[in-house]
C-alpha cells in the first residue's frame, strides 16, 4: 500500500519590523543572515529527504516571518531545489505567506512562474489606524494593491489573515474589515481573535491596563456576527477560524487539523512523522551553525504515545466544522472512536456541546464557544 502523502512547511524567520503582538520565531534586522539561512534550509532538506522516501508532498507552506522579504529569484530557486529533492502529489498546493509591504508585481510574477499557487496575505485589519496600533508595516492600500496584482496575474486562491478583538477596535470596524476582504474577492479568509502572548509589548501594555481591548462579550459578538456575514457572502466556515469559497479550503492546514504527518524545515519549525515529533532551534544563528556543522538543528524530539495521538486527533479534528471522521479514526487506531470515548461523547451530547451523525462527531455552536471544556472530557484515556 502506498504511504500517505505529507505536508512540507518551511519557516522564514525574517521580518521588516516586529509587530507588537507577535511571539512567532521571527526577527527584524537580521537581513545579513538571509543567504546563509537559505543554504541551511537546503542542507536540512538534504538531511531529511531519506526519512520520507516513497511519500509524496501534498502541500508546501512557506510561513514566517515574512517569506516574501526574500528576493523573488531566491524563492524561485528554493522551490526548484524542493522539486529536485521530493516527489509531489498531482495538484500540489503551494502557499506562501506574504506581507503586502514586501510584494511587487515582479515578485508575484516570479512566484507564479515558480509554481506557487496560493497566497496568504497578512491584512489583519481594514483601518490604517488599527494597523499602526498593531505595529504592522503596511497600509490597507498596500493590501488592496497586492491582491489586485495577484488577481491580474491569475492567482485564484488567495487568503487574507484577519484579526478581531484588537485594541480600540469597534464592532463596526470589524464588520467593515470583513466587507473589505469580501469586496477584494479573495477566496479564503482566516479570522483569529487576538491573543496576548507573554513577552510581547502588548503583554506589557495589557498588564499596565493600557491596551484597551474589547470585552469578551464584544469579542464573541464580533466572532458570531462575522460568521453570519461571511456565510451570507458565500464563504463556508470549515474550521473555527477559517472560511472559504467552495473548494478553496487550505489543504495544508487541513493536514494539521486531521493530525496527519508533516515535515517542518527551518528555525523554530515543528515536524510530526510516524508517531515522532520534533522541533528545531528558534534562534537563527544556532540553526545555521548546527546545520552547517553537519549536525541536526533539532532541539526537542519525542515519541508520541498512541493514547496522546488519539487525543490529539480528537482535539484537532474538533476544530473542523465537519468534526472528526469516525472512519479515518478507525483506520488509524484500529478501533471505533466510541470504544475509547463513548461515555464522554454521550455526556457532551446530553449537554448540547457535541453532535454526532453516521460519519462524524463535531462541536455544536455552543460547544465551539466552550471548546476547552469539551476537550477535558477526552483527556486521560
Ligand atoms: S509580520 Fe507576522 S511574523 Fe512578522 S512580526 Fe508581524 S506578525 Fe510576526
- Asked, for residue 304, whether it belongs to a domain, the answer is no
Report CA torsion sign: 228, 234, 239, 242.
negative
Distance (angstroms) between ligand 1 centre and the Cα of 67 equals: 11
Q: Is the pLDDT of residue 1 over 60?
A: no
Which residue has the least CA distance to atom 5 on ligand 1? 18
Residues 134 and 17 in one domain: yes
Ligand 1 atom nearest to 17, measured from its CA = 5
Q: How far apart are CA 187 and CA 235, in angstroms?
A: 8
Residue 40 φ then ψ, to 5°: -65, -40
* Residues belonging to the chain: 381
Distance (angstroms) between ligand 1 centre and the Cα of 376 equals: 32
8 Cβ partners below 8 Å, 6+ apart?
Answer: 57, 59, 60, 61, 82, 86, 262, 263, 265
The verdict on the CB of residue 125 being under 6 Å from ligand 1 is: no
What does pLDDT average to over the chain? 96
Residues 87 and 235 in one domain: yes
Pull the grid cell for residue 105: 508585481
Which residue has the least CA distance to atom 7 on ligand 1? 22
The verdict on the CB of residue 99 being under 6 Å from ligand 1 is: yes
Report CA torsion sign: 113, 114, 118, 123.
negative
Residues 242 and 325 in one domain: no
- Asked, for residue 93, whether it belongs to a domain, the answer is yes
- Asked, for residue 301, whether it belongs to a domain, the answer is no
- Calculate mean pLDDT across residues 235-246: 97
Residues 192 and 72 in one domain: yes
pLDDT classification of 380: cutoffs 50, 70, 90: low
The verdict on the CB of residue 65 being under 6 Å from ligand 1 is: yes
The verdict on the CB of residue 15 being under 6 Å from ligand 1 is: yes
Q: Where are the alpha helices (DSSP H) in 153-283?
A: 171-183, 201-207, 216-232, 251-257
Give percent above pLDDT 70 in the chain.
99
Residues 229 and 328 in one domain: no
Counting the structural domains of the chain, the total is 2
Provide the 8-state DSSP code for 168: T
The verdict on the CB of residue 63 being under 6 Å from ligand 1 is: no
Provide the 8-state DSSP code for 327: H
Q: Is the pLDDT of residue 4 over 90?
A: no
Given a contact cutoff of 8 angstroms between Cβ atoms, the answer to whether 381 and 340 are in contact is: yes
- Asked, for residue 44, whether it belongs to a domain, the answer is yes
Given 239, 257, 275, the domain boundary residue is: 257
Residues 149 and 20 in one domain: yes
Residues 220 and 333 in one domain: no
CATH of the domain at 363: 1.10.10
Given 257, 280, 312, the domain boundary residue is: 257
Given a contact cutoff of 8 angstroms between Cβ atoms, the answer to whether 10 and 266 are in contact is: yes
Query: Residues 165-211: pLDDT tens digits?
Result: 999 999 999 999 999 999 999 999 999 999 999 999 999 999 999 99
Given a contact cutoff of 8 angstroms between Cβ atoms, the answer to whether 194 and 140 are in contact is: no
Q: What is the pTM (predicted TM-score) of this model? A: 0.95
**Predicted pLDDT at 2:** 56
The verdict on the CB of residue 64 being under 6 Å from ligand 1 is: yes
Which residue has the least CA distance to atom 2 on ligand 1? 65
Residues 22 and 170 in one domain: yes
**Predicted pLDDT at 134:** 98
Q: Where are the alpha helices (DSSP H) in the chain?
A: 34-48, 72-85, 105-114, 128-134, 140-152, 171-183, 201-207, 216-232, 251-257, 284-292, 306-317, 326-333, 337-350, 365-369, 371-376
Which residue has the least CA distance to atom 3 on ligand 1? 65
Pull the grid cell for residue 355: 453532535
Nearest to 132 by CA among 124, 251, 313: 124
Residues 357 and 228 in one domain: no
Q: Is the pLDDT of residue 155 over 70?
A: yes
pLDDT classification of 295: cutoffs 50, 70, 90: confident
- Asked, for residue 223, whether it belongs to a domain, the answer is yes
Distance (angstroms) between ligand 1 centre and the Cα of 282 equals: 15
The residue range of the domain holding 66 is 6-257
Ligand 1: which of 100, 122, 192, 199 to mutate, most ligand atoms within 8 Å of CB?
A: 122
Distance (angstroms) between ligand 1 centre and the Cα of 369 equals: 27
Query: Residues 267-294: pLDDT tens digits?
Result: 999 999 999 999 999 999 999 999 999 8
Given 202, 227, 257, the domain boundary residue is: 257
Give the SS3 label for residue 249.
Answer: coil
Residue 94 φ then ψ, to 5°: -125, 110
**Predicted pLDDT at 286:** 96
Query: Residues 207-226: pLDDT tens digits?
Result: 999 999 999 999 999 999 99
Residues 130 and 229 in one domain: yes
Q: How far apart are CA 260 and CA 274, in angstroms?
A: 9
Ligand 1 atom nearest to 28, measured from its CA = 5
Q: How far apart are CA 116 and CA 112, in angstroms?
A: 5
Residues in a beta bridge with 11: 63
Residue 368 C-beta-side C-alpha neighbours within 13 Å: 17
Ligand 1 atom nearest to 65, measured from its CA = 3
Q: How far apart are CA 66 and CA 300, in angstroms?
A: 24
Residues 165 and 35 in one domain: yes
Residues 218 and 85 in one domain: yes
- Asked, for residue 206, whether it belongs to a domain, the answer is yes
Amino acid at each position: 500500500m502506498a504511504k500517505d502523502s505529507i505536508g512540507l512547511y518551511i519557516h522564514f524567520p525574517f521580518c521588516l519590523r516586529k509587530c507588537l503582538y507577535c511571539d512567532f520565531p521571527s526577527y527584524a534586522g537580521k537581513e545579513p543572515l538571509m543567504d546563509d539561512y537559505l543554504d541551511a534550509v537546503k542542507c536540512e532538506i538534504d538531511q531529511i529527504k531519506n526519512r520520507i522516501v516513497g511519500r509524496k508532498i501534498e502541500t508546501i507552506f512557506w510561513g514566517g516571518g515574512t517569506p516574501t522579504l526574500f528576493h523573488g529569484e531566491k524563492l524561485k530557486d528554493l522551490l526548484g531545489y524542493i522539486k529536485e529533492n521530493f516527489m509531489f502529489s498531482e495538484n500540489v498546493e503551494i502557499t506562501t505567506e506574504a506581507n503586502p509591504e514586501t510584494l511587487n508585481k515582479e515578485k508575484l510574477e516570479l512566484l507564479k512562474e515558480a509554481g506557487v499557487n496560493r497566497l496568504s496575505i497578512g491584512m489583519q485589519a481594514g483601518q490604517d489606524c488599527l494597523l499602526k496600533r498593531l505595529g504592522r508595516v503596511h497600509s490597507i492600500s498596500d493590501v488592496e494593491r497586492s491582491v489586485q496584482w495577484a488577481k491580474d496575474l491569475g492567482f485564484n486562491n488567495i487568503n487574507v489573515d484577519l484579526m478581531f478583538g484588537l485594541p480600540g477596535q469597534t464592532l463596526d470596524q470589524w464588520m467593515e474589515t470583513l466587507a473589505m476582504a469580501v469586496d477584494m474577492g479573495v477566496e479564503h479568509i482566516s479570522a483569529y481573535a487576538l491573543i496576548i502572548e507573554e513577552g510581547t509589548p502588548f503583554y506589557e501594555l495589557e498588564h499596565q491596563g493600557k491596551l484597551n481591548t474589547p470585552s469578551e462579550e464584544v469579542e464573541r459578538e464580533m466572532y458570531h456576527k462575522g460568521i453570519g456575514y461571511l456565510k451570507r457572502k458565500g464563504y463556508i466556515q470549515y474550521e473555527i477560524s477559517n472560511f472559504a469559497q467552495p473548494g478553496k479550503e487550505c489543504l495544508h492546514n487541513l493536514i494539521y487539523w486531521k493530525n496527519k504527518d508533516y515535515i517542518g524545515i527551518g528555525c523554530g519549525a515543528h515536524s510530526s512523522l510516524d508517531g515522532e515529533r520534533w522541533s528545531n532551534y528558534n534562534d537563527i544563528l544556532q540553526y545555521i551553525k548546527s546545520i552547517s556543522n553537519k549536525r541536526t538543528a533539532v532541539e526537542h524530539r519525542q515519541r508520541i504515545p498512541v493514547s496522546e495521538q488519539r487525543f490529539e486527533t480528537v482535539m484537532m479534528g474538533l476544530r473542523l466544522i465537519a468534526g472528526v471522521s469516525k472512519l479515518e479514526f478507525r483506520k488509524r487506531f484500529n478501533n471505533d472512536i466510541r470504544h475509547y470515548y463513548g461515555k464522554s461523547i454521550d455526556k457532551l451530547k446530553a449537554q448540547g456541546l457535541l453532535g454526532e451523525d453516521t460519519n462524524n462527531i463535531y462541536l455544536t455552536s455552543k460547544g465551539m464557544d466552550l471548546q476547552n471544556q469539551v476537550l477535558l472530557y477526552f483527556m486521560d484515556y
